[in-house]
Chain A
Amino acid sequence: MTVRRVMGIETEYGISVPGDPGANPMVLSGHVVHAYASHQGLPAARAGWDYADEAPLRDARGWEMGRGTAHPSQLTDVEDPTMANVVLSNGARLYVDHAHPEYSSPEVTSPRAAVTWDRAGELVMREAAERLRNLPAAMGVPVNLYKNNTDGKGASYGTHENYLMRRETPFQRIIAQLTPFFVVRQVMCGSGRVGIGMESRTPGYQIAQRSDFFEAEVGLETTLKRPIINTRDEPHAVADLYRRLHVIIGDANHCDVAQLLKMGTTSLVLGMIEEGAITRDLAIRGPVPTLHAVSRDVDLRSTVELMSGERIRPVEVLWAYFEMVRDYLDERGGTPDEDTDEVMTWWERVLNLLETDRDAAAPYVDWVGKLAVLERYRDRDALTWESPQLRAIDIQWSDVRLEKGIFHRMAAAGRFHELVPQEQVRAAVTMPPEDTRAYFRGRCVSLFPDSVVAASWDSVIFDVPDSRALQRVPMLEPLRGTREAVGALLDDSPDAGTMLRRLGAASVGGGTG
């Protein structure tokens, strides 16, 4: 078993214009995407999205919701020409999702790479906002972007994770064995929030940004009555072989370690579920109210009640998962790969810190680092949790600007542990991961920008002079189209037409062999 699998992170950013809370966020988000795309020389409208294989209403439990009964916000496959959308040269998608600009990372195969390409998205958003602010006077908009998940007034927007899983794993098993993990996972990777309740009616601080917005255990919805386990079954891959588990419960992370743990521990628990190796029933009584209660217990002393009647602390639930994974890896023998080893090492270390010396986890875990600053503020200025100063710090914590974002100010002073060097993140803004189909997608956008008319997770569509019809290259196998497979072919092709002819000649099944 390994932590490695095809995965990715989608991050919606908060957007606002200071002094103009009524500004239309959809239009603003469109401007953000256009500002970035046009600077990169990428046609935001032309290199559109290929919606042919999207099925947002397909449910992993085996049925499909009628379009008539779906909330309009669930119809994510309807193309709206006013919606800006661009595929970036790193294989990511930058677009407007509802009322927020979203960066969907390219497919990667390790938690470390997920950290890298999600942080690349921070640089994309920072630059996009800067470009938009600096347009000539009449066109410039003083827009600010925030990598957070709530306005503290009842609105929440998501940071979603995606994990490719074996189709054969029964979904009921995933629900049963993953739900307890998701109820307590926030303790390792929550981003911290000032305010309790969706609208922050109760003063206080809690572990996770998102927890109060979850009201159901299982479901298809993502924008209302959000479920702990989301059942959207839209694999963007060979549907008979794979499912894409769409995880909507996580927070946007700034800390590398917390982000690595969010992706890594989840991937390992999914691996255990796939292997049928979860040996301890950790089912929690009342997962939804427990999720809220866990988020409010910053001292980590309260217990949760298991269906067995046993009461254990959230950290102990996480230890139970950790031990099952560790024992399973031990039993298998051999040396785990370095990605697995890295996640296991940090998992153990962070749980130890949370259990014995919580505040020492500040350089690793967002909510602990944020709480340390807020507590000092409270002491120094005798503030209560109702103080607007503390709420302002919470919001400004996630400002994408280096000079204004409190996280970024503190990171620059070395107060958070950085796993991925900044140079690697900067390179990931333009270069795709080399070991997934994102490589083919990103490199095509880079090398043949005028020939790519549309793309999606599992296709790229070309318009080439010597062919009357558009050429669609399907990429239903996420691990094809890698640098190893197509790197030389892409580099040696003077134009898209030549590349497609050579690709056709070399074609092995899935198109991007």
Chain B
Amino acid sequence: MAGQEQTRPQRKDDGPDDLPEPVPTAPTAEKAALDSDIDSVLDEIDTVLESNAEEFVRGFVQKGGQ
């Protein structure tokens, strides 16, 4: 199939908004949620993050598996 790479349509033009929507939630709304209040995410992570990161990381030792 030589030349197939030339036939790829201008996908960048038909952005994700033109695609059929399999679900009600719009990706842009989800992204906005992720962007706008990501600092509150960090604040929340701060409250649960292991207090001594260095020790926590050092203590997470696994044996290899498959």
Could you list which residues of chain A lie within 8 angstroms of chain B, going by C-beta atoms?
12, 14-16, 18-21, 25, 97-100, 146, 150-158, 160, 222-224, 248, 279-280, 310, 312, 316, 319-320, 323, 341-342, 345-346, 348-349, 352-353, 355-356, 359-360, 362-364, 369, 372-373, 376-377, 380, 387-389, 391-393, 395-396, 403-404, 406, 409-410, 413-415, 417, 419
Within 8 A of A (CB), among B1-52: 1, 4-5, 8, 11-12, 15-16, 19-20, 22-23, 25, 27-28, 30-31, 33-34, 38-39, 41-42, 44-45, 48-50
Do B30 and A373 have beta carbons less than 8 Å apart? no
Q: Which residue of B lies closest to A363 (CB)?
A: B30
Other than the known A150-B62, A158-B66, A403-B48, what 9 A-B pairs have Cβ atoms closer than 8 Å?
Answer: A12-B65, A16-B61, A153-B62, A157-B64, A248-B66, A380-B42, A388-B57, A392-B49, A395-B57
Kindly list chain B residues whose C-beta atoms are within 8 Å of the C-beta of A346. 22
A392 to B60, CA, bound (A): 9
Do B62 and A151 have beta carbons less than 8 Å apart? yes
CB distance from B11 to the nearest CB of A (A): 6
Kindly list chain B residues whose C-beta atoms are within 8 Å of the C-beta of A359. 31
Kindly list chain A residues whose C-beta atoms are within 8 Å of the C-beta of B30. 362-363, 414-415, 417
Do B64 and A355 have beta carbons less than 8 Å apart? no
Q: A12-B66, A248-B66, A362-B34 are in contact. Are A393 and B11 (CB under 8 A)?
A: no
CB distance from A367 to the nearest CB of B (A): 14
Kindly list chain B residues whose C-beta atoms are within 8 Å of the C-beta of A362. 30-31, 34
Q: Which residue of A lies closest to B13 (CB)?
A: A356
Q: A345-B20, A404-B48 are in contact. Are A14 and B11 (CB under 8 A)?
A: no
**Can you name 16 A-B pairs with beta carbons within 8 Å?**
A21-B60, A151-B60, A152-B60, A157-B65, A346-B22, A352-B15, A353-B27, A356-B12, A356-B15, A369-B34, A372-B38, A392-B50, A392-B56, A403-B48, A409-B48, A417-B23
Q: Which residue of A lies closest to B63 (CB)?
A: A99
Q: Which residue of B lies closest to A10 (CB)?
A: B66
Do B41 and A373 have beta carbons less than 8 Å apart? yes
A342 to B22, CA, bound (A): 7
Taking each of A222, A403, A413, which has the highest tally of chain B beta carbons within 10 Å of its own beta carbon? A413
A121 to B6, CA, bound (A): 44
Taking each of B5, B33, B44, B65, which has the highest tally of chain A beta carbons within 10 Å of its own beta carbon? B65
Q: Which residue of B lies closest to A23 (CB)?
A: B61
Kindly list chain A residues whose C-beta atoms are within 8 Å of the C-beta of B44. 409, 413
Kindly list chain B residues whose C-beta atoms are within 8 Å of the C-beta of A316. 5, 8
A410 to B45, CA, bound (A): 9
A323 to B9, CA, bound (A): 10
- Which size class do B's interface residues fall under? 35 or more
A8 to B31, CA, bound (A): 31
Do B33 and A414 have beta carbons less than 8 Å apart? yes
CB distance from A39 to the nearest CB of B (A): 25
CB distance from A286 to the nearest CB of B (A): 20
Do A395 and B15 have beta carbons less than 8 Å apart? no
Taking each of B8, B31, B58, B64, which has the highest tally of chain A beta carbons within 10 Å of its own beta carbon? B64
Kindly list chain B residues whose C-beta atoms are within 8 Å of the C-beta of A341. 22
CB distance from A399 to the nearest CB of B (A): 9
Taking each of B12, B34, B41, B45, which has the highest tally of chain A beta carbons within 10 Å of its own beta carbon? B34
Do A373 and B45 have beta carbons less than 8 Å apart? yes
CB distance from B22 to the nearest CB of A (A): 5
CB distance from A241 to the nearest CB of B (A): 26
Kindly list chain B residues whose C-beta atoms are within 8 Å of the C-beta of A389. 49, 53
Do B34 and A392 have beta carbons less than 8 Å apart? no
Do B16 and A349 have beta carbons less than 8 Å apart? yes
Do B61 and A153 have beta carbons less than 8 Å apart? yes
B64 contact from A155, A369, A372, A377, Cβ within 8 A: A155
Kindly list chain A residues whose C-beta atoms are within 8 Å of the C-beta of B33. 414-415
CB distance from A94 to the nearest CB of B (A): 15
CB distance from B39 to the nearest CB of A (A): 7
Do B64 and A156 have beta carbons less than 8 Å apart? yes
Do A395 and B66 have beta carbons less than 8 Å apart? no
Kindly list chain B residues whose C-beta atoms are within 8 Å of the C-beta of A16. 59-62
B42 contact from A100, A223, A376, Cβ within 8 A: A376
